[in-house]
Amino acid sequence: MIRFLTAGESHGKALSVIIEGFPSNFVLTEDYINEQLRRRQLGYGRGGRMKIETDTAEILSGVRFKKTLGTPIALKITNNDWVNWTGKMTPGKKTTDVEKITVPRPGHADLVGVSKYNFNDIRNSIERSSARETAARVAAGSVARRFLEEFGITVGSFVESIGSIYPGNNFLTKLLSNKLPKNFTGWQLSVKADKSPVRVLDKKQEAQIIDLIKEIKKKGDTLGGTFVTVATGIPVGLGSFVHYDRRLDTDIASAIMSINAVKGVEIGSGFTSAASFGSESHDEIVIRNDKITRKSNRAGGIEGGISTGLPVIVRGAMKPIATLMSPIETVDLATRKKVMARRERSDFVAVPACAVIAESMLALVLAKHMLIKFGGDSIEETKDNFKMYVRKLDKRIKKNFYKRK
Ligand code: EPS
The confidence band for 10, taking pLDDT boundaries of 50, 70 and 90, is very high
- In this structure, which amino acid lies at residue 379? I
Tell me if 49 CB under 6 Å of ligand 1.
yes
Tell me if 346 CB under 6 Å of ligand 1.
yes
CA of 240 to the centre of ligand 1 (A): 37
pLDDT tens per residue across span 62-89: 999 999 999 999 999 999 999 999 999 9
Identify the three-state secondary structure at position 236: coil
Distance CA 264, CA 224 (A): 12
For residue 252, being part of any structural domain is answered with yes
What is the CATH number for 275?
3.60.150.10
pLDDT of residue 405: 72
Distance CA 268, CA 175 (A): 9
For residue 187, being part of any structural domain is answered with yes
pLDDT of residue 388: 97
Q: How many domains does the chain have?
A: 1
CA of 68 to the centre of ligand 1 (A): 31
Indicate which atom in ligand 1 lies nearest the CA of residue 46: 12
For residue 397, being part of any structural domain is answered with no
For residue 231, being part of any structural domain is answered with yes
> Residue 249 is part of which domain span?
3-388
For residue 403, being part of any structural domain is answered with no
Distance CA 112, CA 117 (A): 8
pLDDT of residue 312: 98
For residue 396, being part of any structural domain is answered with no
For residue 189, being part of any structural domain is answered with yes
For residue 400, being part of any structural domain is answered with no
What is the residue-wise DSSP string for 245-261?
Answer: GG-HHHHHHHHHHTSTT
Residue to probe by mutation, ligand 1, list 6, 9, 10, most atoms within 8 Å of CB: 10
Which distant-in-sequence residues (6+ apart) come within 8 Å of 312 by Cβ?
230, 231, 234, 248, 252, 267, 300, 301, 302, 362, 366
Indicate whether this model's pTM tops 0.95.
Answer: yes
- Asked whether the predicted pLDDT for residue 404 surpasses 90, the reply is no
Q: Look at ligand 1, atom 19, and give the residue with the nearest C-alpha.
A: 132
Residue to probe by mutation, ligand 1, list 37, 105, 346, 351, most atoms within 8 Å of CB: 346
